[in-house]
Amino acid sequence: MEHLQKILFIDIETAPITAAYQELPEGLQQQWNRKSQSLRIPADETPDPAKIFQQKAGIYAEFAKIVCIGIGFLRQEANETWKLYVKSFTNRDERIILDEFLATLQKLSNKIPDFRFCGHNIREFDIPFICRRLVIHGIPLPACLQIQGKKPWEITHIDTLELWRFGDYKNYTSLALLAEVLGIPSPKEDIDGSMVGDVFWNENDLERISKYCLRDVDTTTRVYLHITGMRQIKPELHFL
């Protein structure tokens, strides 16, 4: 099971880049107006770019930013017990989050050159979002995130959503649902992703967001172990 110690479990939390639509620069307001016209809203509601911004902007890297990155890695101790070490990077300044995260990736790459990312829906959300925000900030992508032009089979990221799909791409299965059906304690004990923007901008509670993010990292790790036939491993959780 040595390969388990070469996996970096990861999750990100995002929020709209401004507290409200009205605070967007004029150019981005115009772009959001166009973007919001293509987004699905209830048929009985009048399209309102400002309201849609509050509800949906947080998942688009052009209109949102990273407010927390959570990571975790498994280590087997001398007595053969497993521990999951978790750490979060959070700040009101996204650039600080990204710089600290990249510094950690560099240290990990030096120690474990062939490490792999693992997360839930990271191929379609977390990894692309991180890469896009790095580009927006003018930060060079590290080698482990340079995936442009690579064929799907050349990208080694482990995605628990894809593992669960078993080739079936008809629908999306949330981490909370997957944890529920596998008998794993749900990560959604306090807030969910739709609430992160409000907690960030209106409550300024970074600690709450960090705890939520790390619960997702913990749950993702246990889901991965369960799906891959290693459910007997029940790692102790340790915060760094």
Percent of the chain with pLDDT over 90: 82
CATH classification for the domain delimited by 2-17+63-239, as one of 3.30.420.10, 3.40.640.10, 3.40.50.300, 3.40.50.620? 3.30.420.10
Instruction: Specify whether the CB–CB gap between 64 and 16 falls below 8 A.
Output: yes
pLDDT tens profile 17-41 = 999 999 999 999 999 999 998 887 7
Sheet arrangement for strand 236-239: 158-159, 116-119, 7-16, 64-76, 82-90, 236-239
Residues 6+ apart with CB under 8 A from 10: 69, 70, 71, 72, 117, 118, 119, 122, 126, 217
**Among residues 194, 185, 173, 183, which one has the least CA distance to residue 215?**
185
Domain boundaries, the chain: 2-17+63-239
Instruction: Answer yes or no: are the C-beta atoms of 115 and 144 closer than 8 Å.
Output: yes
Chain CA centroid to CA 95, Å = 16
Give the per-residue pLDDT at 151: 81
pLDDT at residue 150, as a whole number: 81
Q: What is the pLDDT of residue 37?
A: 87
Q: Find out whether 221 and 84 touch, Cβ atoms under 8 Å.
A: yes
pLDDT above 90 (res 218)? yes
In 3D space, the residue among 145, 117, 130 whose CA is nearest the CA of residue 217 turns out to be: 117
- Cα separation, 223 vs 231, whole angstroms: 8
Is a pLDDT exceeding 60 seen at residue 187?
A: no
Which of 156, 200, 193, 191 shows the shortest CA–CA distance to 174?
Answer: 193
What per-residue confidence (pLDDT) applies to 190?
74
Which pTM value belongs to this model? 0.94
Considering all CA atoms of the chain, what is the largest pairwise distance in Å, rounded to the nearest integer? 62
